[in-house]
Structure 1
């Protein structure tokens, strides 16, 4: 097994790295959206190549030395191969002067027929020439350079985030598991997952586009899940070994795989189906995220089921037992004891050994002393008030998102505040556009001299929220392009209302509405229209998987409710920090007053998937502890007591991974990292620690309810039964599930 993984890892190292040469800037909007069709029609009527923009300021715009310098540079640009047109204040009619009267705008249009590589070369040459202008301020940007800045920053952020996360993870894992070798196993599984994920993404590039943003998210997701699953498997192996120290390692690994492996499989399938829900949306970027995420999740699950058990079989002697007193393990126990406010047991060993023959809590911190256990005991003592208080608190946190979120498409403003492309956009918007919104572009396919078109133009001008209407000159076809400038912000409510009002006019000739506001309207409408399909996919798959695990229909519904509360509360906190800018300096960014429009959709999938991970971890163990004659509250406490340390450790590790997102400079990536860290914190404390046990106490035996036919189906297909006592099976060939039950 390790040999097979080694082959895949080597292939990933050889070929996977080449995926970065094939990454593309993927559109966030599907090609058949009206705004996209409008853009293509504008491109037919008024063809235009990529544009580079420069702002020259800090000197009197009519200073003769400056005039001569700009004229010389623009003359060189006009003679440059690949440059189609150059406009500046001194050589083009209607040249633009900034609001401060000390800055001017230079616009350089590149040829349309350039290859992507050649376009980058020409854009770099143009930028270098413009930077040679002798002025205190020379800023060069534009959409072409901004897109490249996004791509380069995304790759740099991924490299930085992953490098720091891996180093910190190794330290955390060594402290958690009590030894370097034991701590290295989850990290080896994670690195193998990432390497093979890059190989899978390289394969995907031969079939479809893969964006830079996809690589950022799915590689860190693969690291986090691989570590989660490895921790669960290692914890169960230690537990099985403590319960039966004389058993052969092959038997111990088999028992581990039969129990923890089943949990890993169901948890991985839950996250994978969340990725499938993401693919229900029609937008190319979300589709790319779904495909890349599915690859990462499935490979992390495969690593947890194959690579981790194989590594344990090879290195089991170097995995400390729960009571091992090695230096690292003793140090960990001392730190944990200090944090708990009590002394460690003598010699660094557990203060009380687990009874022989019964599985102990082996895995991580001492039994009965973990955070989740203490929270669960508190919640079970007063389930009604706790459930009500937690639900109310999470709903209160969600209010900023429900009533005040501003969703916009990321542009150069989502780059770091120091990025030149962002400075150019902000300067042009402030000093050359008067702070007005970008125009809504209306394309009319009819003779503009006709009476019907004139009536349509009058109707446009009379719409509420329209500040200015201006037809573009020199459109030769029997068509017209009208720029409609709305009041307020480009993506504000007024702009969106004007888009909808124009589309509602329904004139007797073809009309397409495009522009930034129209793109936002189309994206939001598309996501809203597809959201029920995505939700249905996740609901059905989650219900089926949790039913297979527990035999209950109540627990899946409760899990979905808790996940929804976690998601809404997370989005509310996200709005406060990233839209309102509360604490933005702490996290190293400057708020641009909005949340990227794709972020809530991605978080919907990621939060549901990872929350279901921990739900499966806990419910699988609670189910093991329950049975005829076992009190429901006792089963919940015992399940949390044994799986709580694993959940806490897994959440800590994956939180470290997602916090790696905050080290980058792209605000959209920071949003994901911050939100996932908040979601994990809420999920592992108030949701799994308080709300879950409180609701299970309130429901009692109803937790395990299912209609009789479904209950019989579950018992027949998904419940393992021990072999009859008269049947003797050699230990080496006994099915793992029977050995585990015995």
Structure 2
């Protein structure tokens, strides 16, 4: 049975005219993109402007304007945060007077380093090592254990070059202190942690691309059966990466850009570029297939380019816009990191989209005769995917029930999800700075930041002490201290056993905030910051979801002319993403596959991950939905019945969707192979989302539901049908 062929005279739409322009000047387009790519890499990575993107990255827990941030502002006014450097020494001979004297001389030399404001060390105590005031700086509170810490505070207001020089000189001087007392020393600081995270991110990015690009090239050689066709999407992806890095470099001057943003956004651009390139090259070869068994003329290659940009280009535009809409939902949130990811992500999607409809077609035109050698005369309407569609269409209800049960089972762990905001735990367990701070927290608990801090708006220390005493008996509380904070405030530090964001710490925050006080109180700390962040995200989530849902519904309606298909697509994506998050909880929160994936569970999922997975995963799911729907709609508009359109659409796109999914899984395997915990969690989540979507949803649920709905798939109220007739986007 023959279907009405969608082929015909080249449509003279704007996209078709763009394809014709590219066909007439392919070398100009390729040269322009080559120059642009070189410039992008030179600026973003090469540091031709004086610094590279990776030198401008930051790291820290996500924050929003809240009670916690207001408390931090009050603390900063009276106790400005100073850059510090901490030395831990073990195995020192503190019982020998000559050794201690040598250590004292070395410690005084640290204080003489330009830029150093103060040195806190038991070696410099007026009463010597037996002075009770320095017990918190001694391992076990006594010199007998042979361990101590020395903390260097730098002067406020140092320029970055002066700060860097001061830290380097102070670190060298601190290590001399360890040597003078015959001990082993290690140095750590917040800036060193940030450097460790950003350098690990950079290494992870190089490793991820090192894994993704060669493997995707090999897979595409198998898909296309030739090196030329396989190389075109890869070239497009490399150019898109350059554009992604440049856009991130630009955004780093406008907002503080978290180190993890780079990997997330760049690999998304890489994955989308490969997907779009695969679709474009496949469609170009299909168009050339109409002229198989002979070498195509320049006019025929130009015609194929016009058709490719008009059809595959339209699909790419729809897909890119759906992904951009999903990421634009992040702009609704208050947290600056979410907005940064949203803006950077949208820009990267746009770069990938433009590359796919300009550079890749230009490469196709230049390699047109080589591509034509392997083009087939007619794409078969019968194959693996049409037979799969036929099997699904015979038992659509059974398929829907079976697949839904599987997806709901996978999603069940999501109900027990716990969220956290890790610090040094983001680094691998054996990372030097993580080991340093875990040892510091264990051996010198008085030096670690209190889990919960309350800023009390009272000048009466005794009154605040009386009020704070009630919290000493709360679960997990190990200490309560009150100290003046400027002339009008008191600072209450509450120390809690366990991690800074433990259940006990979060419950204590809730208890403190609920407690009545005769003065104003502001509660802060890592647990309080996480609570405020999640409250802010929850408050803004309905607006973000509404924006994404509305934008997606409108776009898919303009594409299909149906109201049912967009609603169905949204519902299927929700189930699919729930299953992907369930996989993340099962692995990372419950601690499964630690050895295989190379991580140590912190008993929770990073707080950013669910929101980013919903945004990125939704975008990628809609990406494949658009790939499939574009061909189903194309055949349906040319007269094929509902079931026939579904079968043909799946047959024509099944290989592309499967290949694209495999390629993007390879790309996100770079996330999984990374050392940063949040990146690894994102990698697993997106791999799960893509695999679930490209197999269970796209190959089974979509054809099953479209078969069951039949002609209702194409239903829309009469006013909306008239609206689509006027504004709908077709070829």
Given the two structures, how large is their TM-score scaled by the length of structure 2? Answer: 0.87
Which whole-Å deviations, capped at 9, do the CAs of 1:440-475 have from their partners, x for residues lacking one?
Answer: 110112112475x45533454465664432113x54
**Structure 1 residue 592: deviation in Å?**
3.1
Partner of 1:731: none
Distance 2:393 2:105 in 1: 79
**Structure 1 residue 300: deviation in Å?**
0.4
SS in 1 for 2:254: coil
Q: Flag the 1:183–1:21 CA change in 2: closer, same or farther, 3 A.
A: same
Q: Flag the 1:267–1:62 CA change in 2: closer, same or farther, 3 A.
A: farther
Among candidates 669, 678, 681, match of residue 691 of structure 2:
681
Matches within 5 A, 1:7-156: 7-17=35-45, 18=47, 19-20=52-53, 23-25=56-58, 28-30=61-63, 32-58=65-91, 62=95, 67-68=100-101, 70-92=103-125, 93-96=133-136, 97-98=138-139, 101=145, 103-132=147-176, 133-134=178-179, 137-156=184-203
Matches within 5 A, 1:700-719: 700-718=710-728
Structure 1 position 233 matched with structure 2 position 277: no
Structure 1 position 409 matched with structure 2 position 421: yes
Among candidates 434, 447, 467, match of residue 456 of structure 1:
467
Structure 1 position 300 matched with structure 2 position 333: no
Structure 1 position 368 matched with structure 2 position 401: no
The answer on whether the counterparts of 1:139 and 1:423 sit within 8 Å (CA) in structure 2 is no
**Structure 1 residue 60: deviation in Å?**
6.3
Q: Flag the 1:580–1:125 CA change in 2: closer, same or farther, 3 A.
A: farther
The answer on whether the counterparts of 2:642 and 2:707 sit within 8 Å (CA) in structure 1 is yes
Partner of 1:734: none
Partner of 1:725: none
The answer on whether the counterparts of 1:274 and 1:605 sit within 8 Å (CA) in structure 2 is yes
Matches within 5 A, 1:372-451: 373=386, 375-403=388-416, 405-433=417-445, 438-449=450-461, 451=463
Structure 1 position 657 matched with structure 2 position 667: yes
The answer on whether the counterparts of 1:87 and 1:108 sit within 8 Å (CA) in structure 2 is yes
The answer on whether the counterparts of 1:26 and 1:284 sit within 8 Å (CA) in structure 2 is no
Which whole-Å deviations, capped at 9, do the CAs of 1:486-506 have from their partners, x for residues lacking one?
Answer: 455421222212212222235
Distance 1:705 1:441 in 2: 58
Distance 1:189 1:597 in 2: 33
Partner of 1:599: 609
Partner of 1:469: 480
**Structure 1 residue 28: deviation in Å?**
4.7
Distance 1:655 1:221 in 2: 11
Partner of 1:670: 680
Q: Which range moves more in the overlay, 247-256 or 605-614?
A: 247-256
Partner of 1:181: 228
SS in 2 for 1:482: strand
Partner of 1:260: 312
The answer on whether the counterparts of 1:88 and 1:95 sit within 8 Å (CA) in structure 2 is no
The answer on whether the counterparts of 1:440 and 1:499 sit within 8 Å (CA) in structure 2 is yes
Among candidates 306, 331, 335, match of residue 283 of structure 1:
335
Distance 2:696 2:590 in 1: 25
SS in 2 for 1:54: strand
Partner of 2:130: none
Distance 1:546 1:307 in 2: 26
**Structure 1 residue 436: deviation in Å?**
10
Partner of 2:7: none
Which whole-Å deviations, capped at 9, do the CAs of 1:102-141 have from their partners, x for residues lacking one?
Answer: 5333322222222233323333333334344246653322
Distance 1:656 1:440 in 2: 42
Q: Which range moves more in the overlay, 127-136 or 7-16?
A: 127-136
Distance 2:485 2:448 in 1: 25
Distance 2:574 2:652 in 1: 26
Partner of 1:728: none
The answer on whether the counterparts of 1:218 and 1:296 sit within 8 Å (CA) in structure 2 is yes
Q: Flag the 1:668–1:61 CA change in 2: closer, same or farther, 3 A.
A: farther
Distance 2:375 2:31 in 1: 33
The answer on whether the counterparts of 1:35 and 1:513 sit within 8 Å (CA) in structure 2 is yes
The answer on whether the counterparts of 1:379 and 1:694 sit within 8 Å (CA) in structure 2 is yes
Distance 1:212 1:436 in 2: 24
Which whole-Å deviations, capped at 9, do the CAs of 1:218-260 have from their partners, x for residues lacking one?
Answer: 2211111111111111111111221244671111111111211
Q: Which range moves more in the overlay, 604-613 or 32-41?
A: 32-41
Q: Flag the 1:445–1:691 CA change in 2: closer, same or farther, 3 A.
A: same
Q: Flag the 1:622–1:108 CA change in 2: closer, same or farther, 3 A.
A: same
The answer on whether the counterparts of 1:413 and 1:425 sit within 8 Å (CA) in structure 2 is no
SS in 2 for 1:470: strand
Among candidates 568, 571, 584, match of residue 561 of structure 1:
571
Instruction: Say what the alpha-carbon RMSD is for the aligned residues.
Output: 2.7
Partner of 2:324: 272
The answer on whether the counterparts of 1:48 and 1:109 sit within 8 Å (CA) in structure 2 is no
SS in 2 for 1:106: strand
Which whole-Å deviations, capped at 9, do the CAs of 1:308-337 have from their partners, x for residues lacking one?
Answer: 11111111112155567xxxxxxxxxxxxx
SS in 2 for 1:95: helix
The answer on whether the counterparts of 1:436 and 1:487 sit within 8 Å (CA) in structure 2 is no
Partner of 2:5: none
Among candidates 248, 251, 255, match of residue 300 of structure 2:
248
Partner of 1:348: none
SS in 1 for 2:713: helix
Q: Which range moves more in the overlay, 690-699 or 543-552?
A: 690-699
Q: Flag the 1:449–1:627 CA change in 2: closer, same or farther, 3 A.
A: closer
SS in 1 for 2:257: coil
SS in 2 for 1:208: coil
Distance 1:99 1:576 in 2: 39
Partner of 1:4: 32
**Structure 1 residue 170: deviation in Å?**
2.0
SS in 1 for 2:135: coil
Which whole-Å deviations, capped at 9, do the CAs of 1:333-376 have from their partners, x for residues lacking one?
Answer: xxxxxxxxxxxxxxxxxxxx74xxxx547xxxxx5125xx5554
The answer on whether the counterparts of 2:117 and 2:153 sit within 8 Å (CA) in structure 1 is yes
Aligned positions, number: 679
Partner of 1:345: none
Distance 1:177 1:495 in 2: 56
Partner of 2:562: 552
The answer on whether the counterparts of 1:444 and 1:480 sit within 8 Å (CA) in structure 2 is yes
SS in 2 for 1:480: strand
Among candidates 495, 515, 524, match of residue 525 of structure 2:
515
Q: Flag the 1:112–1:635 CA change in 2: closer, same or farther, 3 A.
A: same
Which whole-Å deviations, capped at 9, do the CAs of 1:665-694 have from their partners, x for residues lacking one?
Answer: 211212212221121111111111222222
Q: Which range moves more in the overlay, 631-640 or 57-66?
A: 57-66
SS in 1 for 2:57: coil
Q: Flag the 1:708–1:54 CA change in 2: closer, same or farther, 3 A.
A: same
Q: Flag the 1:564–1:68 CA change in 2: closer, same or farther, 3 A.
A: farther
Q: Flag the 1:268–1:66 CA change in 2: closer, same or farther, 3 A.
A: farther
Distance 2:391 2:123 in 1: 75
